[in-house]
Amino acid sequence: MSQTDADQRRISLAEAWLRQDPDPETRAELAAIVDAVRAGDPAASADLADRFDQRLAFGTAGLRGEIAAGPNRMNRVLVAQAAAGLAAYLLARGAADAAATTPSIVIGYDGRKNSAVFARDTAEIMAGAGVRATLLPRLLPTPVLAFAVRHLDASAGVMVTASHNPPNDNGYKVYLGGDDHGSQIVSPADAEIAAQIQHIADTASVAGLPRGEFATAPESIVEEYVRQTALVASPPAAQPNVVYTAMHGVGWQTMASVLTAAGFDAPTLVEAQIQPDPGFPTVSFPNPEEPGAMDLSFARAREVGAELIVANDPDADRLAIAIPDASAEAGYRRLTGNEVGLILGWQAAERAAAVSGDSGPSGTLACSIVSSPGLEAIADAYELDFEATLTGFKWISRAPGLVFGYEEALGYLVNPGTVRDKDGISAALAFLSLAAALKAEGRTIDDHLDAFVERFGCHASAQISIRVTELSRIGEIMARLRAEPPASVGGIRVERIEDLSDGFGELPPSDVLRIVLNGGGRVMVRPSGTEPKLKVYIDAVAETGSVAERRAAASAAVAALEAGMRELTA
């Protein structure tokens, strides 16, 4: 096929798309591109090819991408197709169960561009297909939607959010009720839903999809989430001096209600970031992990002498914590996801021990395979079960007997009886409860980190993210590591390499390499599931000597492994 024929084929696809697109903004955008292609603009031709030669994939993370026209972008056409396909899946699943009632769905949305309109489209199309649809009453955090799926005993849930992605992105996250208990979808549901979505895209115009009336959830659902979340904390014996930022997201209103219900004083706010703003004007990337994202929080904390900084990402399912550190340039340092996860895991183990019967503590601590091995050390010390899962809370939330779960990317599940997903609000409350108890004893979070090292050893970690412009580069690096496995990394001997591509133990297949090193170190290598990155996770442990000696030894091992992996992935 010549280039002209290829352009004409894409123009025909674009014209069909324009006929069903209800959004004047994306229609105008696509029409201008089509005109430019007809005029012979090679950049426009490449742009049209990128939009129409492939489709934004629906997987276990749902949909996520840039808001723009075409099937390889997030827009009202794609969302309508997704809603109709998900409705068909729910109806088919209900038809297969003779005892099933009419399927139902609850839909939430955050403050990103088009979140409200995508949510309303979903509700109307679900209702038109015969699914009982309920829309949450206003923009709310993702954990409230995850809670609502269980609270309403819904067949499914949809959250319209792109979490901490760039400002012009949006996404579509799907949860299942019933036996899935409000967890995010996993295989094979993702493939079955994707097939239904593709069928809609191939056979129907979204302009002709029937739309129906949906219900709006009462505010009492939010109030019940607040009530149950407040139970995570004991009444505070002291009031930590806290700074809070919502990172231009939707977390503050719900967080404020939870803090009040739990008896905590209102924190000092980073006012410039407290209200939802889809433009995220004060940050280059609305992710607390990114350099510079917490600079305003640090500045506000210095002004008020804060003992703790609490940050949620824009949809409030993640939590970042920072504490005073005189050696840091900003006067504060953000704790790593592993540091927060291990502290909260220790807290959960203590609670499990406090309510244990004659047979001792029971329950499971779970984390992703790329998170710190320190959680297993805690589980062993408290005689709890431990489970390492594939990356993502869709797996962590399914650990049997779960009492606590986390992943190093700032995700924590502290109340699995209420929410089966990461929850940055309940996790923040659990952390504040710990900080309050420590303050009442005249101790700090830093003191508690030292106590952790003294009891469980120093579990140090680091992460390398290798961003690529060509996705093929990631496959090349993974293939090379498999074909030419290293005998050592950073001068530390490799004991074995475990390739998880065919599954490993009870883990399903995943494109992950686990490099086990002499001395207890470990390196995990995997492609990112949401960004064009290769991610390398490094862990080392030191269990002998003083606290300072353990920190020094573990940090030195991590530094050597990091240098070695940068060479191997160059």
* Per-residue model confidence (pLDDT) at position 560: 96
Decide if 157 contacts 107 (C-beta within 8 A): yes
Which residue in 250, 260, 289, 274 sits closest to 144, CA to CA? 250
Q: Which long-range CB contacts under 8 A does 292-300 form with residues at least 24 apart?
A: 293/247, 294/245, 294/320, 294/322, 294/334, 295/330, 296/245, 296/270, 296/272, 297/243, 297/245, 297/270, 297/273, 297/322, 297/332, 298/322, 298/330, 298/331, 298/332, 299/330, 300/243, 300/268, 300/269, 300/270
**Positions of the chain with pLDDT under 50:** 1-2
Question: Distance between CA atoms of 459 and 41, rounded to whole angstroms?
Answer: 55
The domains found in the chain, sorted by start residue, are 1-53 (no CATH), 55-218 (3.40.120.10), 221-456 (3.40.120.10), 457-568 (3.30.310.50)
Question: Distance between CA atoms of 492 and 487, rounded to whole angstroms?
Answer: 9
Query: Helix or strand or coil: residue 503?
Result: coil
Q: 526-548 burial, b if ≥16 CB within 10 A, otherwise e?
A: bbebeeebbbbbbbbbbeeeeee
Q: What is the pLDDT of residues 489-498, one digit of tens each?
A: 999 999 999 9
For residue 179, the 8-state DSSP code is: G
Is there a cis peptide before residue 188, judged by omega within 30 degrees of 0? yes
* Per-residue model confidence (pLDDT) at position 350: 95
Decide if 312 contacts 424 (C-beta within 8 A): yes
Query: Helix or strand or coil: residue 209?
Result: coil
Residue 353 burial (10 A CB sphere; 0-12, 13-18, 19+): middle
- In the residue annotation, 163 being an active-site residue is answered as yes
Residue 327 burial (10 A CB sphere; 0-12, 13-18, 19+): exposed
Give residue 216's identity as a one-letter amino acid code.
T
Strand partners, 540: 460
Decide if 562 contacts 570 (C-beta within 8 A): no
Of 104, 163, 297, 397, which one is the catalytic site residue?
Answer: 163
- No. of H helices and E strands in the chain? 17, 22
Question: Distance between CA atoms of 371 and 413, rounded to whole angstroms?
Answer: 14
* Per-residue model confidence (pLDDT) at position 95: 67
Which two structure tokens, joined as six digits, stand for 215?
């219900």
Which two structure tokens, joined as six digits, stand for 550?
């353990």
The C-alpha angle with vertex 288 and arms to 283 and 292, in degrees rounded to 5, equals: 45
Question: Distance between CA atoms of 82 and 57, rounded to whole angstroms?
Answer: 11
Count of C-beta atoms within a 10 Å radius of residue 416: 23
Question: Distance between CA atoms of 543 and 468, rounded to whole angstroms?
Answer: 37
Q: Which long-range CB contacts under 8 A does 527-530 form with residues at least 24 apart?
A: 527/474, 527/475, 527/478, 528/465, 529/61, 529/391, 529/392, 530/61, 530/64, 530/165
Residue 137 burial (10 A CB sphere; 0-12, 13-18, 19+): middle
* Per-residue model confidence (pLDDT) at position 282: 97
Side-chain half-sphere CA neighbours of 239 within 13 A: 10
Name the CA radius of gyration of the chain, rounded.
Answer: 24
Which two structure tokens, joined as six digits, stand for 23?
């959004």
Q: How far is CA 241 from the centre of its chain?
A: 28
* Per-residue model confidence (pLDDT) at position 1: 43
For residue 485, the 8-state DSSP code is: -
CA-to-CA separations, 16 to 21, 49, 53, 81, 201, in angstroms, rounded: 9, 15, 14, 14, 11
Decide if 137 contacts 214 (C-beta within 8 A): no
> Which parts of 355-499 fold into alpha helices (H)?
374-381, 393-396, 424-440, 445-456, 472-483
CA-to-CA separations, 102 to 92, 108, 343, 435, in angstroms, rounded: 11, 20, 43, 46
For residue 62, the 8-state DSSP code is: B
The C-alpha angle with vertex 325 and arms to 443 and 439, in degrees rounded to 5, equals: 20
